[in-house]
Amino acid sequence: MLFKVPPMPRIDIANAPVRTGTGYPAPHDVPCRERRRVQLGDAGGLTDFGVNLLTLKPGVWSSQRHWHLLEDEFVYVVSGEVVLVTDAGESVLRAGDCAAFPKNDGDGHHLVNRSDGDAVVLEVGTRSGGDTAIYPDIDMMLDPQKGFVRKDGSPF
């Protein structure tokens, strides 16, 4: 019996949803206001994990330094250069470099574009639902029921 192969589910990147900025409360939003994510996973109908094409202009951060209780993350630098900041220090990632951040490892991380040009990064991460994120450098956490709160649970 012959099976007909369906057409490839190609994603039209130009028409994929775009999310610019951040939901962080002030003043924690400032370094991330200009980050731009093309939501490729959403465009493709993925639900178990997210895939974004992140563009960071010079001086822009991917996020506040954080770690997730329930979600793995992975990044691959497509073009440009970023600085990966973790508890171990800083390292430069260039096109072709990648990094992985296992859930619940307690090592906060983020990317900062300190170069003179744009950096493009492919991000992949679990969509567990009910996740908690901890931001070790600032008095903030993401509570699955309350959203962004101070580490003592009080609202911003």
Read off the pLDDT of each residue in 28-45 and give the average, rounded to a whole number: 97
Q: pLDDT tens for residues 88-131?
A: 999 999 999 999 999 999 999 999 999 999 999 999 999 988 99
Query: 28-129+140-145 sits in which CATH class?
Result: mainly beta
Specify the pTM.
0.92
Residues 6 or more apart from 61 whose CB is under 8 A from it? 31, 32, 35, 110, 111, 112, 113
> What residue ranges do the domains of the chain occupy?
28-129+140-145
For the beta sheet containing 89-94, the strands, ordered from the edge strand earlier in sequence to the opposite edge, are 89-94, 81-86, 110-112
